[in-house]
């Protein structure tokens, strides 16, 4: 997936981009502290067409930000798992009825 951004267009409005293989609408997305109109496209030919029409390819910066978020989430999960593994697990006994 490719992340293409445009800073000269309003991020609040949805911008439609159509190519031969796909049609996408821009969304406001924050990357490196700046909110801009952002397209997420799947096809390389759509990416090439968009860059020729003025969209900026910031896929590398997007991937770095996503990896950093995943790393933070995995650290939080690791902390939770370490606390749960140190506690003693006890099985709950079921009450039986006398006949």
Mean pLDDT of 3-8: 94
CA–centroid distance for 82 within its chain = 27
In a domain, 91, yes or no: no
Mean pLDDT of 37-60: 94
Domain of 18 in residue numbering reads as: 2-76
For residue 57, give every residue at least 6 positions away whose Cβ sits within 8 Å of its Cβ, in sequence order, or none.
Answer: 2, 3, 4, 47, 51
- Domain count within the chain: 1
In a domain, 8, yes or no: yes
- Under a CB-based contact definition with an 8 Å cutoff, are residues 23 and 15 in contact? no
Mean pLDDT of 68-87: 68
pLDDT band at 74 (very low <50, low <70, confident <90, very high): confident
């Amino acid at each position: 997936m490719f992340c293409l951004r445009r800073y000269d267009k309003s991020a609040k409005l949805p911008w439609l981009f159509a190519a031969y293989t796909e049609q996408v609408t821009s969304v406001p997305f924050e990357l490196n502290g700046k909110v801009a109109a952002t397209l997420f496209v799947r096809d390389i030919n759509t990416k090439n067409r968009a860059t020729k029409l003025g969209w900026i390819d910031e896929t590398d910066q997007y991937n770095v930000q996503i990896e950093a978020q995943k790393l933070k989430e995995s650290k939080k999960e690791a902390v939770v798992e370490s606390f749960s593994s140190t506690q003693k697990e006890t099985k709950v006994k079921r009450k039986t009825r006398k006949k």
